[in-house]
Amino acid sequence: MAQLKPDYKYVKCFPEYDSYFVDATKEDNGSFKGYCSSHITNDLTSSTYNNGYLIEPCVKFVQFLTLLSEKHSDDKVHGCIYLYYWLYHDVLSKNESTYNTITLFETFAKAYMQHKNDAQIYLDYVKNITNDVFINIQKLAVLYDNLENFKNNMSCDSNKCNCAHNIVDLYTKYIDDCRKGVNTEFCNELDNFRNMYNKHMEKPNECDEVQKILPSARITDNTLIIITPFFTRFGLWFSSKRRNKKHIRKHLAKEEHEHFESRTKNDNISNNNRAYHIQYRASANN
């Protein structure tokens, strides 16, 4: 069974898959409606889902998977995750649990099976999405969506600058876990997002009050910030100690030299005086 690794790098491609989705779902397909209607009626209870409403999303699902089946294997994985997120975000409007999202995916995949026989590949992909991974996908998708809107001068709640404010607030919240050393893959992608945001904010924009530089999500950057001054101070202290010791040795050597010269001078004076007294006493005895 295909395994999904939580590298999260594909989330930044969601805007690209938005374009694929629009292209794939341009035309209506009557046969797909028949496939969808049959499985929605038989597999989903009307108390849980609005069955009539789900016909159109199911048709779009089948159309998009049909396009995706012609893509490279990596595109299939990424596109499948995009489709899973689309079901949760757009079709279920974020109000249903992840379990209901997978149920809807499985039901729509059955409709796709009547058209093509590779549906199991996509089912295997999404079954490997854990709840934690999907939560992180949602977080990254919201960040990239806000950045895309900001880049394209689209508003967030009637104000373009709100997109940047949203990014700063959410990013600051999300990196808390990174500072604790958890969610490594997720934090790596947060850092990739941060690089994109910082790069874009180097360009002139009208949102002067918005934070232009996001801090790194990687804990190693903070470690370097803490350690570097420590070694700098230690280096200065050690260098100062060496200079002080060198100065002390030089000072002691100077004192020792001066003391030796003083003793030599005094000894010479003492010897001269002794010689004088000997000569004087010899003269007196004569």
pLDDT per residue of the chain (286 residues) written in tens, 0 to 9: 445 566 798 999 998 899 999 999 988 777 799 989 989 888 887 656 667 789 999 999 999 999 998 887 778 888 999 999 999 999 988 766 666 899 999 999 999 998 888 888 889 888 888 889 999 999 999 999 999 999 998 878 888 899 999 999 999 999 988 888 777 899 999 999 999 999 999 998 889 999 999 999 886 544 433 333 444 444 444 444 445 444 444 444 454 455 445 544 454 444 454 444 444 444 444 4
Say if residues 61 and 112 touch (Cβ distance below 8 Å). Answer: yes
The identity of residue 197, as a single letter, is Y
Rounded Cα gap, residues 270 and 11, in angstroms: 97
For tokens 């004569």, the residue is 286
**Cα gap 133→124, rounded to integer Å:** 15
pLDDT at 47: 59
Q: Where are the beta strands (DSSP E) in 18-175?
A: none
Which pLDDT belongs to residue 184? 86
User: Distance between CA 102 and CA 107 in Å, rounded?
Assistant: 9
Residue at token pair 């001078």: 265
Cα separation of 69 and 77, whole Å? 10
* Class of residue 104 by CB neighbours under 10 A (exposed 0-12, middle 13-18, buried 19+): buried
DSSP for 28-49, written as a single string: --HHHHHHHHHHHHHHS-TTTS
**What single-letter DSSP state applies at residue 138?**
H
Contact 107, 43 (CB under 8 A): yes
Taking alpha carbons only, the member of 131, 264, 149 closest to residue 197 is 149
pTM of the entire predicted model: 0.71
CB 94 within 8 A of CB 137: no
Give the rounded distance of the alpha carbon of 285 from its chain centre.
107
